[in-house]
A = this chain, B = another copy of it.
């Protein structure tokens, strides 16, 4: 049995809590947070604690709070014998180095309230100062996910940046697609199959191979027509997005092989 504590009451803490509470051979002993209202939703399945002098001794302390609050919370754990980990993509492991045992358990996924996730397919990026602790983290993460990766702080930082491109920015492109549909009275659902196929296709082809469209084939006529259209949209920023992304695609293929498709 692995006895764990979770710090935080936000989306990541909530999703990890639900997964670990349902997992075999894991016991979530305490959920610790300052917001008593938010803590209430955890009460049924674990002890909840808002007084930081009441932190119990467990095997693993998971700090799932905002990046800026990790160091402060870890101050309460520097006398603990258990392994202290945070769940952030962009904070180096070293921020916990004043604790006797420390590491990182970074779930590479976007978590939303009110949206269930299959935790088994969430990649867990693990790092630990000590090799045995890395094994312990693998054991713990393996209880809720089938996708376990060893990732050091530099790599994790890169992944966090990559996630901004493929998740945050992609979502913004979806938003632009929706605005275009809205302006013409079209349902956004009409784009959903294309969006899903785009995401699915790259399991079979690399994104480099999968690239299509006017910028890829150097079709200046279509791009000029699109620019004229995009200029008429309510939001003038979308024109800049069209121009920069087209330029980036064009540059990528022109530099590489001078070809078009």
Interface residues of A (CB under 8 A from B): 67, 90, 108-110, 112, 115, 117, 121-123, 125, 147, 149, 151, 154-155, 157-159, 161-178, 180-181, 183-186, 188, 190-208, 210-216, 222, 225-226, 229-230, 235, 237-238, 240-242, 244-245, 247-249, 251-252
Contact = CB atoms under 8 A, between A and B. Distances in A.
Contact of A207 (B174, B212, B237, B251): B174
A213 B168 contact: yes
17 contacts: A109-B194, A110-B194, A110-B201, A110-B212, A115-B201, A147-B193, A151-B186, A158-B180, A158-B186, A162-B180, A165-B242, A166-B173, A170-B199, A188-B202, A188-B206, A199-B199, A240-B248
A172 B123 contact: no
Contact of A205 (B115, B186, B207, B248): B115
A213 B167 contact: yes
B109 A229 contact: no
Contact of A203 (B110, B162, B192, B210): B192
Contacts of A238: 248
B168 A211 contact: yes
Given A158-B181, A211-B175, A163 B186 contact: no
Given A155-B184, A163-B191, A204-B115, A211 B171 contact: yes
A248 B252 contact: no
Given A171-B211, A175-B207, A240-B248, A163 B194 contact: yes
Interface secondary structure of A, over-half rule: helix
* Closest 4 pairs between A and B when the two form their complex, measured CB to CB: A168-B213, A175-B207, A174-B207, A199-B199
Given A195-B199, A229-B157, A235 B252 contact: yes
A217 B167 CA distance: 15
Given A109-B197, A159-B186, A163-B194, 18 more contacts: A108-B191, A115-B201, A121-B193, A122-B193, A123-B190, A147-B193, A158-B183, A161-B230, A162-B191, A165-B180, A165-B241, A167-B212, A169-B241, A170-B173, A174-B202, A175-B207, A178-B206, A237-B247
A129 to B, nearest CB: 20
